[in-house]
Structure 1
Amino acid sequence: MSDIEWGLRHVEHAMGTVFSFDIRDTPTTAIADALGRAVGWLHHVDEVFSTYRHDSIISRLARGEIGRDDCSSEVSEVLDLCERVGRATDGWFSHTPDGTLDPSGLVKGWAIERAARILHAAGARNTCVNGGGDLQLNGEAAPGSPWRIGIAHPSHPGELCAVVTGRDLAIATSGTAERGPHILDPHTGAPADGPASVTVVGRSLTLTDAYATAAFAMGPAARTWLESLGDYEGFAVQPDGRTWQTQGATATVNLCRIIPVDDPLGRR
């Protein structure tokens, strides 16, 4: 773990990705200490839940070396959440998509949300915690100004496909642009034939991140499903460049506004 310097911003490598902390409050000793604890928390999550670490708790559990009762309460919490999301998505989210235990589709969002809570408890009210493009946003970017988050276009590196604006929200994007076809269809175990990318916006990153994974796996059914939830919005880019967004995302709502960016090839 790297040293934390006094300030409102910090970047940390953990869990196989890059995390950034952007705190827009006046710095205090309590906030600086909380930032250190939040970074430590991310590394702890990696030690417990990484499927790439042979000695992690989740890897040992997957191999049957230990049982669920031998694990900490946080492991039970994550697995319970995975089962809850599996039921809510009619099985389109699974922590055993190919028969192997892998709660990664929920863990990162859960870890980021918990890190944001650590900061909030220390008095940081206006924060952005970003882990590989999945964000938990609290408060505002500046007094009277909402956060504005650009969503990377999956087919045109360096360009945006949409901008999300709002306060107190979570944003998660699933797709194949960076990691290839890594999301599996839980019903078949084969790579999901989803859109180029799908972005989901909600309040809690734990569920928002997991729902983004499920929405990608659902493919064409994702839009109707997201609209049925009520408290979530979605925006997707299809492989041919066309886009869709949920009905509430086309105008300012209590949660957010999703503003599409014109397709660079003129397709809608």
Structure 2
Amino acid sequence: MRRVEHVMGFPVSLRVDDPDVPEEAADAVFRWLREVDARFSPFRDDSEVSRLERGEVARVSEDLGEVLDLCEAYRVATGGAFDVRLPGRGLDPGAVVKGWSVQRAAGLLRAAGARRFCLNAGGDVVVAGGPWRVGVRHPEDVGRLCTVLEVADGAVATSARYERGDHIVDGRTGRPATGLLAVTVVPTLTEADTVATAAFAMGADGVEWAAAREGCEVFAVDAGRRVLRTAGLPVAG
């Protein structure tokens, strides 16, 4: 099974290698991701996030409550570098929502009987039944890879400046984070996407912070073009 759709502002590709998994499983994945976009996008006036920001929500849904709890946990863990409530920007929990929702989507696939699959949401990847080879793009040359990782069951997420420029802000200073060119992490996806963004926001200190998290491996390129990597990074042979 192969499918690609544009959701949440980026392409989402799904590959399932189990022949008995019905097409309806893919339908459920993309339906869920579209639902998440409708409910949590800060760019939609009628989303729960936008209505909460305008003071129109008396009590948040269970899902949004879970997301906001994760956002607060990372704000505290990074000393404020990761913050989804930046002055002048309004509430934007997207850095948590993306990984959280894709991990839920992977759960839908497993519930449908999928054992070997790859779900790639705008560069954040969750895989099962590997080994899978996942390329990490060079931060300054779109045609090159920095490294190739080999992951059996887990996730890979990258935060960088090459797609959207200086879009990640250090919440401690209110200024764009420029200490790193790119950082890739390999824990579970809910952790991966947020940890990558949080580490990027922290700058050079973020690499050590991310590496200290349980089960987290890191690959990063700093502003001086130095490559930083943890010893347990699953580099393909």
Query: Normalised by the shorter chain, which TM-score bucket?
Result: over 0.9
Amino acid corresponding to residue 218 of structure 1 in structure 2: M
> Equivalent residues in 2 for 1:170-189 (5 A)?
170-189=155-174
**Any conservation in 1 of the 2:14–2:117 contact (CA below 8 Å)?**
yes
**Aligned partners of 2:100 and 2:189 also within 8 Å:** yes
Residue of 18, 22, 37 corresponding to 1:25: 18
Q: TM-score, normalised by structure 2?
A: 0.94
Does 2:205 match 1:228? no
Report Cα offsets for 1:123-153 as digits up to 9, x if no partner: 001111111100111121xxxxx11000111
Give the partner amino acid of 2:85.
Answer: T
Give the whole-Å Cα distance in 1 for the aligned partners of 2:129 and 2:80. 33
Q: Corresponding residue for 2:105?
A: 115
Alignment of 1:211-250 (within 5 A): 211-249=195-233
CA distance in 1, matches of 2:54, 2:101: 23
1: distance between equivalents of 2:154 and 2:97?
18
Name the structure 1 match of 2:53: 62
Alignment partner, residue 137 of structure 2: 152
Secondary structure in 2 aligned to 1:11? Answer: strand
**C-alpha deviations, 1:46-71, integer Å up to 9, x for none?**
1001111111110111121223x1x3
Q: Given residue 235 of structure 2, which amino acid in structure 1 is its aligned partner?
A: I
Cα offset for 1:246?
A: 1.6
Residue number in structure 2 paired with 1:39: 30
Q: 2:68 pairs with 75, 79, 94, which one?
A: 79
Residue 137 (structure 1) aligns with: 127
User: Is contact 1:226–1:246 with CA below 8 Å preserved after alignment?
Assistant: no
Q: What is the Cα deviation at residue 259 of structure 1?
A: 5.5
CA distance in 2, matches of 1:136, 1:119: 11
Query: Is the 1:93–1:211 contact (alpha carbons within 8 Å) kept by the matching residues of 2?
Result: no
Q: 1:208 to 1:28 in 2, by over 3 A?
A: closer
Q: Report the structure, 1 or 2, having the larger strand content.
A: 2
- Structure 2 residue aligned with 1:127: 117
- The answer to whether the 8 Å contact 2:21/2:114 transfers is no
CA distance in 2, matches of 1:34, 1:124: 9
- Aligned-residue offset at 1:97: 2.9
2:231 is the counterpart of 1:258 = no
> 1:161 maps to what in 2?
146
**Are 1:206 and 2:190 counterparts?**
yes
Secondary structure of 1:125's counterpart equals coil
Computing the radius of gyration from Cα coordinates, the structure with the larger value is 1
Task: Determine if contact 1:223/1:246 at 8 Å carries over to the other structure.
Answer: no
Give runs of aligned pairs for residues 191-202 of structure 1, distance below 5 A.
191-202=176-187
Aligned residue type for 1:223: V
2:15 alignment partner, SS class: strand
| Equivalent residues of 1:198, 1:234 under 8 A apart | yes
Q: Give the Cα–Cα distance (whole angstroms) in 2 for the partners of residues 230 and 73 of structure 1.
A: 26
1:1-12 aligned within 5 A: 8-12=1-5
After superposition, the CA RMSD in angstroms is 1.6
Q: Tell me the alpha carbon deviations over residues 197-230 of structure 1, each in whole angstroms, 9 at most, x when there is no partner.
A: 100111x211111000011011111222123223
Q: What SS is found at the alignment partner of 1:247?
A: coil
1:55 partner SS: coil
2:183–2:199 contact (8 Å) kept in structure 1 = yes
